[in-house]
Amino acid sequence: MESFDTVIIGGGPGGTPAAMRLAQNGKRVILVEERGRPGGECLFEGCIPSKILEHAAHRYSLLEGLRGPDKGINDKPSAIWKRFIEKKDRLLELRSDAALRKFENLPTLTFVAGKARFRSNREVVISEGSGKERTIGFKNAIIATGSGAFVPPVKGNGLQYVWTNRGIFEAHDLPASIVIIGGGAIGIEFAQMLSKLGVKCTLIEMLDRILPPVEEEFAGLLHRKMCDEDGIEVNLSSRVLEINFADEKFEVVFEDKGGETHSIVPERVLMATGRIPNTKGLNLESAGVSSNRKGIETDEFLETTAQGIYAVGDVINGPKFAHTATYESLTATENILHGNAKKVDFTKNSWVLFSDPEIASAGLTEDEALRAGRKIIIGRYDFSSDAKAQINGHPFGFLKFVVERETLQILGVHIFTKGAPGISGEAALIVSMGATLKDVSEAVHPHPTMTEGFGLLARQMLGTIKENSQ
């Protein structure tokens, strides 16, 4: 039986960085990926294709008013979609090939196309197709098998035809209308992108608000913008009862807040109702790895209930982002290389929602800080007076600091404005370095950029605090 120092199952942003870092440290590593190519859901059906589409939809919307046979620009959304598919396929291949080339420069790293399952807490079986199987032994393992779309059971014959994040990127053309079920990050991003491309979008969300983990005031403002400006019909507190499909059309029946039943007939239905961890078929029991509905159980070192076996990324119960998967991947690597010494800290996580306007967040929200019993003060900077936001023609939105009252450490930074992704890195750094208002107030932020708000808000809050304590 072949033996490796570490076996890594899953070649997405959770598995790949660990494989490379361990190999760079001279460890014999085998990385097993079912798709046969590295990149994971993030590259093939998640972050990258959705952001290529977001970019295309944004550019298309900028030409509003210039389109038309007599106005010089004749592009139709279907032409944009065709170009999107071409660009997506090109970029995906480019990125996946680049990763494979990096692997070739790491002599102790073996990349295998196949599906892995445990046979014991020290053996994995890899099915390489056509009935070919190979068993390998390992000292350590990292499970990074990601998550898949959760499709809730709904009555009717239509469920088998609905799109999830798989399916939509393979479509040959844009539909004229779509019902999107789920008002979380994926549902909101798709609703705004598709509506910019002229698709009539109806969103159905079971809860009484969109984007539950997002700062409530930001989610409220975005909800209003979607309804008032984007022309998206948003149905909150609504429950889908039935989905049927006949003659190339769906029928979606849902019940609204007041118990009234409605029926919509869209061309397509997109399910964006959450994610489920990919644990099926891994035979975790044979390795002594415990899991539940929310994912594989890990401790603060990301070690599972089986010693030496770690789990990272979407397959565990934690924030589901590509960069978080990578952070966890590198944390688990440190713990394999140096003994469990590095704990994960999700209070410093950051993320961006590519809505319009975008939302970026790092660290604790106001609500999370209060629930954790922290004594906090809140500061807000209004982008309506921001020079760069005015220059860009979008003087709208807020920057919000959640600050610990006693130490003046910034626990959370939340941004809601067009261009938020571009300044989200500073938010992540402020929170991860434990910067205080004083630290940020003393940084020299270039003018005119939207980062100036960080310094201005810090100084404004320090001024306010001094005034209040006099």
Ligand X SMILES: Cc1cc2nc3c(=O)[nH]c(=O)nc-3n(C[C@H](O)[C@H](O)[C@H](O)COP(=O)(O)OP(=O)(O)OC[C@H]3O[C@@H](n4cnc5c(N)ncnc54)[C@H](O)[C@@H]3O)c2cc1C
Interface contacts to ligand X, rule CB under 6 A = 9-15, 32-35, 40-42, 46-47, 50-51, 115-116, 144-146, 165, 186, 278, 281-282, 313-315, 320-323, 325, 354
Pairing state of beta strands 29-33 and 109-113?
A: parallel
Q: How far is 301 from 328, CA to CA, in rounded Å?
A: 9
**Which of 244, 293, 49, 281 minimizes the C-alpha distance to 166?**
49
How big is the chain by its Cα radius of gyration, in Å?
24
Q: How far is 278 from 284, CA to CA, in rounded Å?
A: 11
- Residue 115 has a CB neighbour count (10 Å cut-off) of 18
Q: 270 or 440: whose CB is closer to ligand X?
A: 270
172 is catalytic: no
Q: How far is 424 from 417, CA to CA, in rounded Å?
A: 11
Q: 140 or 278: whose CB is closer to ligand X?
A: 278
Q: 127 or 460: whose CB is closer to ligand X?
A: 127
Q: How far apart, in Å, are the Cα atoms of 289 and each of 95, 119, 143, 144, 278?
A: 33, 12, 10, 13, 14
Could you tell me which residues are beta bridge partners of residue 114? none
User: Sign of the CA dihedral 43, 48, 53, 56?
Assistant: negative
CB of 351 to ligand X, least distance (A): 6
CB of 12 to ligand X, least distance (A): 2
Could you tell me which residues are beta bridge partners of residue 32? 9, 112
> Which residue in the list 55, 223, 262, 447 is annotated as catalytic?
447
User: Is there a contact between 220 and 234 (Cβ–Cβ < 8 Å)?
Assistant: no
CB of 155 to ligand X, least distance (A): 25
Tell me phi and psi for residue 281, to 5 degrees.
85, 0
Helices 16-24 and 322-338 pack at an angle, to 10 degrees, of: 30
CB of 5 to ligand X, least distance (A): 18
CB of 195 to ligand X, least distance (A): 16
Can you read off the two tokens belonging to residue 218? 């930001």
Torsion of CA 381, 386, 392, 394, to 10 degrees: 40
Q: How far is 115 from 36, CA to CA, in rounded Å?
A: 9
Q: 211 or 437: whose CB is closer to ligand X?
A: 211
DSSP 436: B
CB of 323 to ligand X, least distance (A): 5
H helix or E strand, kind and range, residue 435: none
CB of 214 to ligand X, least distance (A): 14
Contacts of 451 (CB under 8 A, 6+ apart): 423, 426, 445
CB of 441 to ligand X, least distance (A): 30
Q: How far is 118 from 152, CA to CA, in rounded Å?
A: 28
Could you tell me which residues are beta bridge partners of residue 126? 116, 134
Question: Cis omega (within 30 of 0) on the bond before 213?
Answer: no
**Which of 209, 200, 217 minimizes the C-alpha distance to 235?**
209
Residue positions annotated with a catalytic role: 447
